[in-house]
Each structure stands twice: as structure tokens, then as C-alpha cells.
Structure 1
Amino acid sequence: MMAATREKANMRSSKLIATVVAVLASAPALADDVKVGVGMALSPNTPVSSGTYFTIDGLTAAAQNANKPWSLTALDVNTLRFSVHSGDHWVTSGWSDITNGGNAERSEISLSSSGLWGPGTQVNIGYQLTVEPGSPNTASFFCLSQLHATTEGPPPFFVGMNGEHMQIGINTKNGQLVLWKDPNPIQRGHAYDMNVQLKMDPSGNGFVDAWRDGVQVVNYHGATGMAGAQYYWKEGIYRGPTTADTQTVDFSNLSITTGSAPALVTSGTTASSSESTSTSSTGSSSSETGSTRRPRVARP
């Protein structure tokens, strides 16, 4: 009788295993940039290969890079170093910077696994940004950090460089709006203290406030984001194709919160902008406050 009981138990177990296998087999395959669970904290001076999930400052991040020894390194538990050489492309089974991205070059992290933000949510982001000494930037576009939309396309918010000048801008259905461009070249080797408070609302009730080293450089109220989108943070280097151009950037002490937050106490001149500053068909531009519109370029 005991043998018969064990045989029945084994049969039930076999049926259960077969059912689980069948369910798993019928489930859709995960994309290359989708993983289950959370990442692990990195040890100092650890190279990070593309597709790796890890935690930085308590947030789950996924590496997107060319899998070169220099692409991404954790300098310590709070600092990541991104480096891109000419020809460094991110390629997976579902995406290729070469064929899908116009030969774009990158080393980035995506924080989509740490949660998505819907329209109307205030997001507060702080970090230190250091562009390391090196050759002048020659890329046609150079994105250092961005709020990325689930609808894809150009970033609804970005911090980047135009040549050697830092700039901050947004993309809406009407095109790209540069909210601020530094009239002075970037100080390579200087750790900029960056703080951003923003809300995506394509209907016109959005805003972007940005501070650099305690000085408010953007005070924008108007349309932000894309219809039907949710959003997540990305940082690192994403740029147009180059020749013999190596750039290295460090990000430290990333902090992201949601909900209302007090504005930073600022010093110096505040640069402000709104939709009303760029109502002409040609737009207008200033080195201090942005109102230059450009056609959108799809960038993942």
C-alpha cells in the first residue's frame, strides 16, 4: 500500500511539473533588456557589462553599452563612470544602435525597473555630474541624462552638451525646445551639482525647474511629455556617431523622489522660459534662456 501511495504521489508531482513547464513554455519570451528580480550592489572598480542589472544608490539599474572594458565602471558604491569611444554601439536581439539608431554611440543605464511615473507626477532628481578632461565633443547630439518615455521617441527632458556647452531641454509634440544653454564652455573635471524638479503633462500644465551648483537655470511652465506615455530615468552617454572622439563622464549620489518638494534656495540669476517665449515659426534663441525649436530625432 505504501508503494502504491508513493506511486500516486509521484504521478501527481509529475503532472504538476508538466503543467508548470507548459505554462512557462506558453509565456512570451522576455526581451533582452527585461529581467526578473532586482540587481545586486557592485563592488568598487567593477566593470559592468551590457545587460547587467544592479543597484546604485538603492535603485535598480540596467546597463546598456558596447561591452567594452571601459564602457561602465563602478568607482564606488555611489559613483558610476561611463566611457564611450567612437564606434561603441549598444546591440541586442531587439535593438541595434547601428541599424535602428543611426549609428548612435552609447554607454547608459536605464532605471525602468525602479518604476514608471505617470503624467501629473512630480519627479525630483538630484545627482553630481562630472565630464572628465578629454578631447572636445564633436557629436551631432550628446545626451548626458534624460527622462525617457515608454512611447519611445526623443527624450521628453534631457541634459546634454552642444559642442562644449551644457544645455537643458525638452521634447514635445511640437519639437525640441532648448530651455537653457550655458554661454560658457563646460568645466571638465568639475563635479556639477544637478537638481531637477519636473512634471510631465502634455496638456500644458507641466513644468521643469532645474538648478546647477545651486543656481536656478530653468523655470519652465507649459506642455511637457508625450500623450499616453509613462516615464523613467536614464543617465550616461548617448550621442551621435563620431570619429576618434572619446568621452568619459561620472555620475554620483543619484537621488530620485516623487511628490511635492521645496524649491532649492538659489543664488545668482534665474533663467526662465515658457511656451509663450517661442510662438514664432522660426523661434528665437538665447545663450541664457532657451527658446530654440528643432525637429525631433527618435532616440531610445
Structure 2
Amino acid sequence: MTERTWFITGINSGFGRQLTEQLLAAGDRVVGTVRRDGSVADLERRYGDRLVVPHLDVTDVPAVRRVVDDAFARLGRIDVVVNNAGYGLFGAAEELTDEQVQHQLATNLLGSIQVTRAALPHLRGQGGGRIVQLSTYGGLATNPGASLYHASKWGIEGFMESLAKETAPFGIEVTIVEPGGARTEFRFDSLATATPLAAYDDTPAAMTRAAGDRSRPSLGDPAKMAAAIIASVDVSPAPRRLVLGSDSYRFITAALQERLAEIVPQAGSAAATDWSD
């Protein structure tokens, strides 16, 4: 297999860490961004100059452009850009503060958009590449108590679907990854919650208040999921979506079936609003 170079945001834990470990062990090179300096010092010692670790907060747009430009200038070519950095924000929409709303969208949605926009001129210039966007089954299905998290993921999926059609002529392909629950630290280290309002105590939105319960482990194996993401880069044409986890498959298919069941019967009434002479 030919050595590849990857740019991955948020490698200090979770899927970012799993991807980085597997790629470096296989002989690839990684530019992996972190928000906590020193959080992957063990990998830096082990792999030397095959791992470059710039500090980056993806909500800082000038820094995003600088770090992406520096990565391409330093390494010459980057084959795969992985938008992994992000976190979950749980709580009913009314319970969230304005700052929480803004930061969730700035990180999960606008952060991925800006990293991608910064990389596109370089990917076009080198004649192609692959963009991998970490999403979640919650980019196609919803749960109460996670409205802003879903908003960020539904938003980035719409962006990436459209982007794939824009960049296909340049040999730039896009894959959206839809993992279910995984046994990473996401629910514990990468989760922000609202201050509860008593009005929601006995409503479906309160379900997410138990998201950080360690007594309920997730189904997904993060190492297997990371391996599947890496393997997808060898598939051409790129899979538009990569569903990982039986729970993800179950939630997504149920949501899509429900949506179609609501929409298909409207064929006649939809056509009735067409212009007629």
C-alpha cells in the first residue's frame, strides 16, 4: 500500500486518536491537530517526524487557514482531510444558553466548513483527494434533548452532500461517516450539558441527562470503526455515507422510512400547487 498523508482535526482522544494510532502504525504520515498541547506526546515520541501536531481551535478561522496552509506547505501533498473535531451539546433547546448554541455551531458546523474551505485550493491544485467528515447517526435521525447537536450535524451533512457534487470534477471525493455509540470518552470528555429546567423533568428531552452514565456502555468498538474509516479511503468511487454500528443502522433506516411514509402520500397534493394555465 502506498504511504499516504492525512490531516485530522482533534486527535487527542476518541476517533481522532484511534485513526492516528492505526495510520502511524501502518506507516502513513499524519498532521493531527489538538486543543490540549502535550495530549499526544507519547505518539510524538514514538513516531517522530511522521506525526506533526499543531495546536488548533477550529472556531478560530484565521488559525484554521494558517494551520491548513502550513500543513500543505510542509508536507507537499495531503491525501485525506478528516474533520473529526467536535463535541456533543445536550439539553432541551430552551435550556441552552446563547453562548452554548453559538459555540456548538461554531465548532461542529462552521469549524468543519472552514477546515474544508481552507483545504480545497490545495486539493484542487494537487489534482484530487478525499474529505472524510465525522458525523453521527444523529445527522439523519433525531432524539429529544439534542436539538442543537442535531442542527450542527444535519447542517454539516447538507454542506458535505452539496460539496461532493461541486468538487467531483476536480477528483475530490467526500465521505460522511455515521457512527453509532462507541466506547470512546465522547460521552464523558466531549459532552456539554444544559442547566436543567424543572419543566422538562418528566419529558422526553430529559432522556439526554443520563448520557454520561458509565454503567451503560455503548455498542461500538472504536478501533473497528476507525479501521473501517481508513479502509473506506481505498474505495473508489468514495462511499457517500459510511454507517458504523448496528444501532446507527437501526436509527437511520427507521428515520428515513418514517420520513418517506410522511412524504410519499403527498405526491398528489404537492403537484396540485404547480402552476397551471
Instruction: Say whether the fold is shared (TM-score over 0.5).
Output: no
Higher strand share: 1
Asked which structure has the greater CA Rg, the reply is: 1
Normalising by structure 2, we get a TM-score of 0.30
Normalising by structure 1, we get a TM-score of 0.28
